[in-house]
Structure 1
Amino acid sequence: MIAIIKYNGGNVNSVQNAVRRLNADSIITDDFNIIRNANKVIFPGVGEASSTMENLKEKGLDLLIPSLTQPVLGICLGMQLMCGGNEEGNTRGMGIFDISVKRFPAEDIVPHMGWNTVSKLKSDLFSGIEENSDVYFVHSYYCEPSEFTTSVCDYILPFSASLQKDNFYAMQFHPEKSGTVGSRLLENFLKL
C-alpha cells in the first residue's frame, strides 16, 4: 500500500491518479499508523510553504515524515518542505536535506512553469530514462545543486531538479504531469 500524505497542499488527487494508472493501491491519509506501515510514502504538494508547514505541525506530520524508514518521495512543495530553511514565508522545513530553498532572482519570468530538461541523472529513480529528458515544472523557489542532487535543471541558473538522501527521494518537478518520463519515475519509485 502507498500512503499519499493528506494535508492542505494541493495535487494529492492527481498523484493518486498517476499511481492508480500504474495499478498500485494507494490511500490519501494523515493517519500516523497507516503512513508508518505503508510500503511507500508520497509527500506531494502545491501551495505556500509557511501555511503548509503550520498545517503539518498541527497534525504532527513534521515529526513523523523525517522518522520514516521506507522509501519516501517528496514532490514540488513536498521536496521544499523536506529541506531546511525556505525563503518563502521565512519557513523552517523538516531538515531532511540540509540545504536552503531560495526564490528565483528574476521576477519577470517567475514562476518557472512548463516543460524543461533534466540532466546529470544519478539515481535509481532515473533507471531507463534518457539524459536530457523533459519533465513538467511549476515553482518559484529552488535548491542549489548540492551533495544530495540527483538531477539538475537550468532555468535562470542551475538548480536541483531532484534530491536523494538514504530512503528520502524528492523531485522539484511533477512526475504525475510529466507524461511517460514521469510515469517511469513513479514506477521506478514503486519498485524500490
Structure 2
Amino acid sequence: GAAAVLAQQPQAELTGSIEADHALQALRPVKPCLQGQRWTWDGVAFEVLHPLAGDAAQARRPNALSCVLRITAAGDSAPVALLVGDIEAPQEQALLARGAPLRADVLLVPHHGSKTSSTAAFLEAVQPRTALVQAGYRNRFGHPAPDVFDRYRERGIQVVESARCGAATWSSAQPGDVGCERDGARHYWQHNIAPRPD
C-alpha cells in the first residue's frame, strides 16, 4: 500500500513514527512527526499533537511514539478528525495533561480498540460523534475489546468497524454520515457479519 502511493507521489514528503529499520525507510527518508508541526493544504489545517521531541528517548514501546494528527476542514464550524494511531492510556493522559485540543467530530479509535486505550477521560475530552475502528475480522488480538466498545456506545458515539464496513468514507460536508463500501458494493464471496447486539 504505502510503497505504491509513494511511487506515484515522488515529490511527497513522508512524516511518521516508523522505526529506523522499517522497509519504507529505504524508499524515502521518514521525517519524525513531532508535536507542534503544522501545515495547511487546500484550506485544510493539519496539526501534530504527539509525540513530544523528547519522547523517543523515553519510549519503551513504539506505540508510545504514534503520531497524533488533528485535521480541521476549511470553512465555518469546520468538522475535525483526530487520527491517533496506536497510542495507549499513558499517551492519552499526557495529551490531556498538556491541554491538547482533542475535541473532534471523528476519532480513529486508539490502538484498534485495544483494552489499553480509549480511557473514559480521553473520550470525554474528544467527544466524537463517530469513531472508526480499524481491525480485521476475528483478529487474533480481539480488537476492539468488548469493554472498550461499550465505553463508546455508552456515550452515544456511532462506532464504525472496518470488519463490518469495509472501507469507510467520510466527508467534512456531511460529518454525521459514514459510508461503508461493503454496503454499496457487496459481492457474493463476502461473509455477512451480524450486527453487534445493543
| Shorter-chain TM band | 0.3 to 0.5
When normalised by structure 2's length, the TM-score is 0.34
Q: Which of the two has greater helix per residue?
A: 1
User: Could you say which structure has the greater relative contact order, defined with CA pairs below 8 angstroms and 6 or more residues apart?
Assistant: 1
When normalised by structure 1's length, the TM-score is 0.35
Q: Which of the two has greater strand per residue?
A: 1
